[in-house]
Structure 1
Amino acid sequence: MLKRYWPGPALRALVLFLLCSTGSAGTVVSHDAGDLRFEEPPQRIVALNWWLVEHLLALGMTPVGVADAEGYREWVAQPPLPDSVKSVGARQSPNLEAIRSLEPDLILVTGHLMAAVPALETIAPTLVQTTYEAGSNPWKRARDHLITLGKVLDREAQADKVLEQAEQDLADTRRRLANAGLAGQEAFLVRFLDDRRLRIHGDNSMLDQALEQAGLSNAWQRATNLWGFTPGTLADLGGHPDAWLIYIRPWPEADRERLLASDLWPYLPMASSGRVTGVGPVWTFGGVLSVPMMARMLADQLIEGNGEVGE
């Protein structure tokens, strides 16, 4: 009678190790649309959101294409985007043929383009990373996304260095503000859309994270939308006479002049006290680099006391 042979524990462990080793070749990462496997680090990358561009550049990787490259240069500015980078349409409606012509081996998108992912995947593997979600902390999610991207690009050590530098920069900013007696200083953070409308950034925004990490206080405590801002007007900014009004550049000069000439402007407490100033350009929906950059800009203006508007 033939006896069935069962391998001993040591042999079974060796077989399992070999099977697992063979099956785990390459790099596997989880993202908002599932899992992706990379046999080698991608080299030709297209990014369809500006904070994704910021993360690529922070890791020392220049994309071959981005959505609205000129817009990035105007509204984000840092890190600088090389002239060699091609534009591949708008962020909300990228040009698939322009993307295909660049022959990418990776496409980076956020969840707002989830409906386009099947079409993008016919061109190249598509990694979906979303920062703004209900109940999430955008600063934490941005850091997690940078670590994941570092793993994909085999630049994990660089990602760690970027995060360490960001934390160091924020600590330096907190120390500067504390030494200047400005810890806890209140401020409104706004983006002017024209001479009447503005976005007031509060809870769940990257700008709020910059304030918090710098040891400052956000004067805006009302409810915000998914992206961390509330649509409003100057009339919404009363009730905090000691707060600063800090606007994010760019702010078109024509809109600025019309606002300063309006009947409401002189009655704004921050305007009458000269506590209005601008910072930037810095992207209000940016990534890991934007938070310490914004915090440093805020500290520079508050310490110097530069009330540049309404004096």
Structure 2
Amino acid sequence: MAERQTKSYLMHKLREIGVEPNSRHGQNFLIDLNLVELIARSADLGPRDVVLEIGTGTGSLTELMAPQASHVITVEIDANLYELASERLLRFDNVTQLQVDALRNKGSFAPEVLEAVGDALRGTPDSRLKLVANLPYNVATPILSNLLLCDYTPHSMVATIQKELADRIVAEPWSKDYGALSIWMQSQATTEIVRVMSPKVFWPAPKVESAIVKIVVDPERRAAIPDLKYFQQIVRALFLHRRKFLRANVTSAMKRHLTKEQVDAVLDEMEFADDARTEQIDIATMQTFTEKLRQLAPDWTL
């Protein structure tokens, strides 16, 4: 790296342009170079990889990834940081910088981002899309979730996120963190926490621990889900009241589409106990169960 991203370096650079970190945009800069390198290394980048980075910051991670990847699309919402990173990234002809909100809304990416990703993928032989980012906490969940519903399926995602969110992604049934996000991610990919990080490795220091999470998509798992959007929505609906009995959750979610008798028939077919709760159901069973509901109520939406 041309310049080491330390706290003093960041303070000096931001002071030069007359700005301070913006908490509204989740600006917590990673100031431990070893961890910046760990993020890049965990992504296992190569010449066929197109990288999507959300949150350019000062460009420290981008600068590490550009020599390894075919192309890097890096997105920054903050105009001041966009300009600051531009100075650092000017020498790379395989980096596309976008100054835009990566999300059009909570359910979808901005069209400019998808267009840039599509162009880079088409321009790279045998290309693979990888998300690699120090994600702002306030957009981490929609970024990771939505990318699995995009036209461009990622090969993998390596991201720094809030530890609480990482715990939910890797959680197992019966645990307090197990929920709709756990099922959504693990039904399509292998998930692991690479490293837990103290608030001290960031500036400004957040109030919570962070973690680097690695998610590698498994095409066979994805192919086993006939309708990904339906599956995502129905799992979310079943976890709206996670402590309630499963029967009550299904009846509530399907009240305009299935009778109580139809719900009971599916539950009996699945051999669920009367006191079964949603949080107890493993991923394979949830996939079988939700597909039976889809066959009965294909027009259901959340």
The reply to whether TM is greater than 0.5 is no
Mark the structure with the bigger radius of gyration. 1
